[in-house]
């Protein structure tokens, strides 16, 4: 029996696995995050083991026939290395790109960033986490000086008085976490859900607001306007712990409730009621998720809600404040260790000379050999195969063909490459168009750390034996680095890599240097930042007192140079694409309980229902276009079209349709307009036409 964690979302629920060849999942009650609870995906996590779709042999596309043929690992890696070497010689190192994922372990994310910068020498690396919570990360960094999704343990939710969930469907995306909402309500607290759809989470709430998609920012401005007008701003806190409020006070002056109603569709009386609720509460917790963040104004939307939490004097106090509910399994750690275009490990910025020197020192290379900033995820994909863009790309842990916005365009860019390499466990839609496919180990077949949505670093242990023929991503990187004549060797032992990661992050914002595999196992997770020692002197004169980790951040001060949080005055711009005569409704996308992300894993698990995509719409809209429940309808946007059965429900706004994104189709429709700060695409809203 092995204690490990679920392969899917950022809650990283603890579970036990028994049986090395035919694994079975059972509850791990002692693990504090989920206390034995799992969602349907977690209970069926072992369903991918022994799956008939599992890849066990490298594949190379035969140029003559266009078909894949099985090859040896040596042939596959030699083929890749020869092509990359030739491209680099002809076009320079930036002709090769690397695309990572928010589901990769910390060790893989770290090693991937190092591989790109040192073995390939390319600046062209980014990852699909850019599409997950980068708007919240950007806003958190600007407001608090540091981004950690939740700066407090999730269980703190139970002790607040009012929890406001903006664009989060917690009950469906991470069901074991929803028990905290129930516990809060049992204590007499209030749950507010803000979402264009009345979701399963809304069913567990006391107050539900259903704004027009893309208007959460305007709603926040209106709430703050009323808090100011009602004298609910914690002026002492604002004076002691923040800067920039006067600009914000002025900027919300014109957002009176009737104007908010016109923009958001939320009745003015409901805006007044929520402001009154927040203004009179002792403790308020504001949590955002993708619904608020995946917009071309996503980072400003998060800043607007942070402004609300700061004005109420909540951030950096116990049981109050702001947090982001990260999505992917390692959405947090994945953004800290160097697979992002502008970052080095430990949340260090790649254009900071001191950061380059520190990390280069750990890697044993000259700082000047490290490339600079690359392109963000969508900009990178958009440049593939163009005159100035990369000619080859290596993809790890991402199914871009399904998950990228404006996916038909992105697929054409992938197809235009001289070389596309995909490392995956199954022939995903992206692997299916690759030139070389590398079969790699999955989740419980390998050991590594993940950092959950609370900033808790946890240990996923190897529990089952991988099928023969597959290799870990770490072995793939080692094999390629050797063939590319990397100036430094690449290790494959995850624990050794984690120790090196600790050194690379030492002194950085996300400092992991005091965390070891042994500590994680003993303490059931360690919260970063966790430096090697507290720096204080113990009674026996030793200065090496073990740092306990940091479950709650900002209690003393924020991570800005002066220790104060920053207000930012932001304005509502609206979605990049507004409905018009040709495309009269809003399209929004999201997840369903039984599936995860692009579905490459969960769609293959027999015991998880694979319903296929559907188009959720209100009876009024269905009546207007003559659609019956279950009948096929067509959704068209300026970028593409798809058909799926209508699902007619009265829980969605009449001006909005919803399509889940786990199947090919939804992202052919979505808009690639980017947030100027985070470079997050506008997945969550665009203009669409729905016809029968």
Query: What is d(CA 411, CA 401) in angstroms, rounded to the nearest whole number?
Result: 6
Stretch that binds ligand SF4, among 39-47, 67-75, 384-392, 634-642 (CB under 6 A): 39-47
Which whole-number Å values give the CA distances from 294 to 70, 221, 300, 672, 675, in the listed order?
39, 18, 11, 11, 8
Place of tokens 């995909």: 422
The residue from 2, 4, 12, 160 that contacts ligand SF4 (CB under 6 A) is 12
In whole angstroms, how close is the CB of 153 to ligand SF4 at the nearest point? 16
Q: Which is nearer to ligand SF4, 41 or 662 (CB)?
A: 41
Helix (H, G, I), strand (E, B) or coil at 687: strand
Residues 617-636 that bind ligand SF4 (CB under 6 A): none
The residue from 17, 25, 38, 324 that contacts ligand SF4 (CB under 6 A) is 38
Q: Which is nearer to ligand SF4, 193 or 594 (CB)?
A: 594
Query: What is d(CA 299, CA 624) in angstroms, rounded to the nearest whole number?
Result: 35
Question: Nearest residue to ligand SF4, using CB?
Answer: 42
Q: Which is nearer to ligand SF4, 14 or 196 (CB)?
A: 14
In whole angstroms, how close is the CB of 12 to ligand SF4 at the nearest point? 5
Query: What is d(CA 1, CA 3) in angstroms, rounded to the nearest whole number?
Result: 7
Q: Which is nearer to ligand SF4, 174 or 501 (CB)?
A: 174
The residue from 4, 23, 28, 41 that contacts ligand SF4 (CB under 6 A) is 41
Tokens of 17: 């696995």
Q: Which is nearer to ligand SF4, 39 or 217 (CB)?
A: 39
Residues 201-220 that bind ligand SF4 (CB under 6 A): none
Residue 19's CB is within 10 A of a number of other CB atoms, namely 13
Among 474, 339, 450, 335, smallest CA distance to 6 is for 450
The residue from 2, 9, 131, 476 that contacts ligand SF4 (CB under 6 A) is 9
Query: What is d(CA 425, CA 440) in angstroms, rounded to the nearest whole number?
Result: 5
Distance of CA 151 to the CA centre of its chain: 16
Cβ atoms of 128 and 398 closer than 8 Å:
yes
In whole angstroms, how close is the CB of 154 to ligand SF4 at the nearest point? 11
Q: Which is nearer to ligand SF4, 34 or 411 (CB)?
A: 34
In whole angstroms, how close is the CB of 71 to ligand SF4 at the nearest point? 35
Q: Which is nearer to ligand SF4, 34 or 330 (CB)?
A: 34
In whole angstroms, how close is the CB of 100 to ligand SF4 at the nearest point? 20
Stretch that binds ligand SF4, among 32-40, 241-249, 353-361, 407-415 (CB under 6 A): 32-40
Among 676, 681, 684, smallest CA distance to 660 is for 684
The residue from 42, 279, 291, 479 that contacts ligand SF4 (CB under 6 A) is 42
Q: Which is nearer to ligand SF4, 598 or 656 (CB)?
A: 598
- Is the alpha carbon torsion for 577, 583, 585, 589 positive or negative? negative
The reply on whether position 564 binds ligand SF4 by CB under 6 A is no
SS3 annotation, 209-233: ECCCCCCHHHHHHHHHHHHHHCCCC
In whole angstroms, how close is the CB of 103 to ligand SF4 at the nearest point? 11
In whole angstroms, how close is the CB of 250 to ligand SF4 at the nearest point? 42
Distance of CA 408 to the CA centre of its chain: 22
The residue from 39, 146, 220, 226 that contacts ligand SF4 (CB under 6 A) is 39
Stretch that binds ligand SF4, among 33-41, 355-363, 577-585, 656-664 (CB under 6 A): 33-41
Q: Which is nearer to ligand SF4, 40 or 198 (CB)?
A: 40
Q: Which is nearer to ligand SF4, 209 or 287 (CB)?
A: 287
Which long-range CB contacts under 8 A does 348-355 form with residues at least 24 apart?
348/508, 348/509, 355/508
Place of tokens 């504001």: 286
In whole angstroms, how close is the CB of 378 to ligand SF4 at the nearest point? 26
Contact letters for ligand SF4, residues 336-375 (x by CB under 6 A): ----------------------------------------
Cα-based angle 178, 288, 141 (whole degrees, multiple of 5):
130
Run of H or E residues at 648: strand 641-648
Q: Which residues contact 494 (CB under 8 A, 6 or more apart)?
A: 105, 107, 446, 447, 448, 449, 474
In whole angstroms, how close is the CB of 479 to ligand SF4 at the nearest point? 31
In whole angstroms, how close is the CB of 15 to ligand SF4 at the nearest point? 7
The reply on whether position 414 binds ligand SF4 by CB under 6 A is no
Size of residue set near ligand SF4 by CB under 6 A: 14
Q: Where are the alpha helices (DSSP H) in 397-460?
A: 400-403, 407-415
Tokens of 281: 């509460």
DSSP β-ladder status, 632-636 and 641-648: antiparallel
Cβ atoms of 193 and 205 closer than 8 Å:
yes
Give the strands of the sheet with 125-127, arranged side by side: 68-70, 59-61, 436-439, 419-424, 392-396, 96-100, 125-127
Stretch that binds ligand SF4, among 37-45, 82-90, 118-126, 584-592 (CB under 6 A): 37-45
Residues 123-182 that bind ligand SF4 (CB under 6 A): 174-176
In whole angstroms, how close is the CB of 23 to ligand SF4 at the nearest point? 15
In whole angstroms, how close is the CB of 27 to ligand SF4 at the nearest point? 11
The DSSP bridge partners found for residue 242 are 565
Residues 643-672 that bind ligand SF4 (CB under 6 A): none
Place of tokens 């708007």: 135
Residues that bind ligand SF4 (CB under 6 A): 6, 8-9, 11-13, 34, 38-39, 41-42, 174-176
């Amino acid at each position: 029996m092995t204690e490990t964690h679920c392969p899917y979302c950022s809650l990283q629920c603890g579970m036990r696995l028994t049986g090395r060849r035919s694994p079975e999942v059972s509850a791990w009650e002692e693990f504090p995050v989920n206390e034995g609870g799992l969602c349907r995906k977690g209970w069926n996590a072992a369903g991918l083991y022994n799956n008939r779709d599992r890849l066990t042999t490298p594949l190379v596309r035969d140029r003559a026939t266009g078909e894949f043929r099985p090859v040896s690992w040596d042939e596959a890696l030699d083929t890749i290395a020869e092509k990359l070497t030739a491209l680099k010689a002809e076009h320079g190192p930036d002709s090769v790109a690397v695309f990572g994922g928010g589901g990769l372990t910390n060790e893989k994310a770290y090693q991937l960033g190092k591989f790109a910068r040192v073995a390939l020498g390319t600046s062209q690396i980014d990852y699909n986490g850019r599409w997950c919570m980068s708007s919240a990360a950007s806003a958190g960094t600007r407001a608090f000086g540091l981004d950690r999704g939740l700066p407090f343990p999730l269980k703190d939710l139970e002790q607040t008085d009012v929890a406001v969930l903006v664009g989060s469907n917690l009950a469906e995306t991470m069901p074991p976490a929803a028990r905290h909402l129930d516990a809060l309500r049992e204590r007499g607290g209030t749950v507010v859900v803000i979402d264009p759809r009345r979701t399963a989470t809304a069913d567990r709430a006391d107050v539900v607001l259903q704004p027009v998609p893309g208007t959460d920012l305007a709603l926040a401005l209106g709430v703050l306007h009323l808090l100011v007008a009602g004298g609910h701003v914690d002026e002492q806190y604002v004076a002691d712990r923040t800067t920039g409020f006067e600009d914000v006070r002025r900027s919300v002056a014109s957002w009176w409730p009737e104007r908010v109603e016109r923009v958001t569709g939320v009745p003015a009386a409901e805006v007044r009621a929520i402001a009154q609720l927040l203004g009179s509460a002792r403790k308020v917790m504001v949590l955002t998720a993708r619904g608020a963040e995946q917009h071309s104004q996503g980072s400003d939307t998060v800043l607007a809600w942070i402004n609300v939490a700061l004005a109420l004097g909540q951030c950096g106090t116990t049981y109050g404040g702001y947090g982001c509910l990260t999505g992917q399994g390692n959405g947090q750690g994945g953004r800290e260790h160097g697979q992002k275009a502008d970052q080095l490990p430990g949340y260090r910025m790649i254009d900071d000379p001191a950061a380059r020197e520190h990390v280069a020192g750990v890697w044993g290379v000259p700082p000047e050999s490290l490339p600079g900033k690359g392109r963000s995820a969508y900009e990178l994909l958009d440049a593939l195969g163009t005159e100035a863009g990369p000619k080859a790309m290596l993809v790890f842990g991402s199914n871009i063909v399904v998950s990228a916005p404006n996916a038909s365009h992105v697929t054409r860019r992938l197809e235009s490459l001289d070389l596309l390499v995909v490392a995956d466990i199954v022939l995903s839609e992206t692997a299916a168009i690759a030139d070389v496919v590398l079969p790699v180990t999955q989740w419980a077949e390998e050991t590594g750390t993940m950092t959950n949505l609370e900033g808790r670093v946890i240990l996923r242990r190897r529990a089952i034996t991988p099928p023969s023929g597959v290799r870990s991503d770490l072995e793939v990187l080692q094999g390629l680095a050797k063939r590319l004549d990397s100036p430094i060797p690449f290790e494959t032992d995850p624990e050794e890599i984690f120790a090196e990661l600790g050194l690379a992050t030492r002194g950085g914002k996300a400092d992991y240097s005091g965390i070891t595999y042994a500590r994680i196992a003993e303490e059931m997770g360690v919260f970063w930042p966790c430096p090697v020692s507290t720096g204080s002197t113990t009674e026996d004169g030793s200065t090496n007192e073990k740092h306990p980790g940091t479950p709650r951040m900002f209690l003393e001060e924020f991570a800005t140079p002066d220790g104060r949080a920053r207000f930012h005055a932001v304005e509502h711009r609206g979605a990049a694409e507004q409905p018009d005569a040709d495309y009269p409704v809003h399209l929004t996308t999201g997840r369903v309980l039984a599936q995860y992300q692009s579905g490459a894993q969960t769609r293959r698990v027999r015991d998880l229902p694979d319903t296929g995509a559907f188009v959720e719409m209100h009876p009024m809209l269905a009546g207007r276009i003559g659609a019956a429940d279950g009948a096929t309808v067509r959704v068209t946007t300026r970028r593409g079209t798809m058909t799926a059965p209508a699902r007619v429900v009265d829980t969605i706004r009449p001006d909005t349709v919803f399509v889940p994104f786990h199947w090919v189709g939804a992202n052919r429709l979505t808009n690639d307009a980017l947030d100027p700060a985070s470079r997050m695409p506008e997945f969550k809203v665009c203009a669409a036409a729905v016809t029968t």
